[in-house]
Structure 1
Amino acid sequence: MSWDTLFLVANYWAIAAWLVLAFAPRGPRILSLLMYAGVFLLCLAYTVLIAGFLSGSIDAGGQGGAMDFTTLAGVMKLFDTPGGATLGWIHYLAFDLFTGMWIARDADQKGVGRIVQFPFLFFTLMAGPVGLFLWLIVRERRARGQGKRAK
């Protein structure tokens, strides 16, 4: 499978999972499906790729060489290859989907409606840490507000 094809498959797989997360009922079966058919498979793909890169059995394409995560230049060199960019992208997809699931479940538990959740999920899909950051701000304010009402 080419790097382009693997990139597209991972992308479409993640988008399908995000659509389910945003619009399907969030019962235990759906959440389990998202965790294992979504996050787990993306993590599996990442694990296979990183193991292959580290062992030398998978070529990242482009200019080879040992992977170096200790310097900016080393990471840039890895991301400058089709395999390295795909590896990094799958990393983002897996963690952003996991984070989106956490936000959705947390929001559901706190009684936050789907329409209110949608912008946080969108920002998490598009720019992971931004969506999480915004949700953490709202979550904290909501928790403080509930604490004051309980007294």
Structure 2
Amino acid sequence: MTGALFEVTFYLAAPFWALMIVAPRWRWTTRVIGSPWIALPPLLVYLTLAPGDFAELWTVVSRPDLEALRAFLSSADGAAMIWAHLIAFDLFIGRWMYLDARRRGVPHLALAPVLVLTILLSPIGLLAYLLVRAVTPEARRLHDREREDQPAQ
């Protein structure tokens, strides 16, 4: 069962990525991606796997140790669980970038490759998005307005 869950995890998230990248202005994309629940399908894979190894998972996350993490990830259940975790949170980060880019006026031609990068290497994708957002004139103007609207501390 673990192998099948591992295999299906990415495919549970792929339709949401496709909507954000290929059909960003379609009204259904906005409605679907507007919900934070899009991360639920890969999270359900995680929640299916976690109870079976919860004691070991808890040990790994509550007392971080490189060797314990390495051992956990070397098991099929541990690797599949971490994969589902990554897919769910990558999708959540991609969702945030998509919504933020639309709000800030970041051109989709700049966003689409960043979303693809985020699917593959999410920390680098997030950094790339923050850089794109920082240099996009419309996004910078919105950022400046938001800072002006904040009360002085």
Q: Tell whether the structures are fold-level matches, with TM greater than 0.5.
A: yes
Distance 1:22 1:87 in 2: 26
Q: Please tell me whether residue 91 in structure 1 is matched to residue 85 in structure 2.
A: yes
Distance 1:16 1:131 in 2: 19
SS, match of residue 106 in structure 2 = coil
Q: Please tell me whether residue 120 in structure 1 is matched to residue 122 in structure 2.
A: no
Moved over 4 A (4+): none
Distance 1:44 1:12 in 2: 13
List per-residue Cα deviations over 1:56-107 (Å, max 9, x = no partner). Answer: xxxxxxxxxx444121111110110111110010011000000001001111
Q: Please tell me whether residue 23 in structure 1 is matched to residue 22 in structure 2.
A: yes
Matches within 5 A, 1:11-90: 11-24=10-23, 25=26, 27-32=29-34, 35-36=36-37, 38-54=38-54, 66-67=56-57, 68-69=59-60, 70-90=64-84
Distance 1:13 1:44 in 2: 10
Shift in Å, 1:120 = 1.0
Matches within 5 A, 1:124-143: 124-142=118-136
Shift in Å, 1:126 = 0.5
Percent of pairs identical after alignment?
A: 28
SS, match of residue 112 in structure 1 = coil
Distance 1:48 1:8 in 2: 14
Higher helix share: 2
Root-mean-square deviation (CA), in Å?
2.4
User: Can you give the 5+ residue segments of structure 2 that lack an aligned partner in the other structure?
Assistant: 146-153
Q: How many residues align?
A: 136
Provide TM-score, normalisation by structure 1.
0.77
Distance 2:106 2:136 in 1: 10
Greater displacement, 14-23 / 123-132 = 14-23
Does structure 1 retain, via aligned residues, the 8 Å contact 2:12–2:41? no
One-letter amino acid of the structure 1 residue matched with residue 54 of structure 2:
L
Provide TM-score, normalisation by structure 2.
0.77
User: Can you give the 5+ residue segments of structure 1 that lack an aligned partner in the other structure?
Assistant: 56-65
C-alpha spacing 1:145/1:28, structure 2 compared with 1 (3 Å) = closer
